[in-house]
Amino acid sequence: MSEKQLVSKSVTYQTATENDDGQRLDNYLARVLKGVPRSMLYRILRRGEVRVNKGRVTPSYKLREGDVIRIPPVTVTEAPVTIPSSNLHVVQDLKDRILFENEDLLVVNKPAGLAAHGGSGIEFGLIESLRALMPDQRFLELAHRLDKETSGCLIVAKRRSALRHLHEQFRQRIVKKRYLTLVPGKWDRRVQIVDAPLIRNELRSGERMVEVNFKRGAPSSTGFDVVEFLDGATLVAAMPHTGRTHQIRVHCAYKKHPVGGDEKYGDKDFNERLKSIGLKRMFLHAAKITFLNPKDNSIIKVEGPLPDELQTAVDALRIKK
């Protein structure tokens, strides 16, 4: 049943802290006024009911530490936010999946099937789940993304300053990521780099597809190493040097070795073979991530163990000697 929730009783004034510095005003309001629909937030912004330092600003205004934000009274009618029961076990499991944590950030071993964030019909993603599990943590934001069906190491910032530091590391390509994937056939060891520009297209159905396009595509590069030759397949390590959408999946397909279990770019026969040995997901796992500690620039290396269902598939295809 819906109920009225008085989010803000009267006009309040909040001062932007270090953790708020650089955040868009609309995103700040969404965090402070939990449960308020975005449409309502933009409405009170358009009306000038939200002010920063006594002046009107746009929703995209980026806050600075010390800014004074005027927040009007807001009442919404909706049920209290709860974790969907269908995902409750997955959400509760996240605390046991934290691989590394300090005062600035944490690295979580994201399970396959859980989106990094909500949106586009997804009510709860990993970041919303962590916020529900850690209500005392004022600031939690994704430093990067993983596809819903990809598992493995994902960095979450606990401070705005750490998030900015991490974003700069991604821009400068300081962050190094190593994925493990299972592909059909025997990967040629001589193929150690795939440089193939990628372009993203939207189909009429609304589905997003990425393809190699040497005329109009954005520069894209992935390094590859053979980890192990298996029965009719190869376990491969992929190291993306750029961060394009679906990059590893498209580069593998471009070399005629598509990612196992990939329903979008994969090989139907190989996918059926994997299903026959019990694998019901895409075989792509962010196994290792290396980056600099925002506090002192020391090197942090975090590894996420291969999930049981992926290890079982490797064991089933291992060549008996």
Helix axes 25-32, 38-46, angle to 10 degrees: 120
Residues in the chain: 321
From the list 21, 26, 96, 147, the catalytic residue is 147
Burial (CB count <10 Å: 0-12, 13-18, 19+), residue 210: buried
Q: What distance in Å separates the CA atoms of residue 244 and residue 199, rounded to the nearest whole number?
A: 9
CB proximity list for 28: less than 8 A, separation 6 or greater: 16, 20, 63, 69
- In angstroms, the Cα distances linking 258 to 123, 184, 236, 312 are 30, 7, 11, 20
Verify whether residue 262 is a known catalytic residue. Answer: no
Cβ of 204: how many Cβ atoms within 10 Å? 5
* 194-200 contacts at long range (C-beta below 8 A, 24 or more positions apart): 194/221, 194/222, 194/224, 194/251, 194/254, 194/255, 195/219, 195/220, 195/221, 196/220, 196/250, 196/251, 196/254, 198/244, 198/245, 198/246, 198/247, 198/250, 200/245
* Cβ atoms of 116 and 124 closer than 8 Å: no
What residues are annotated to the active site?
147
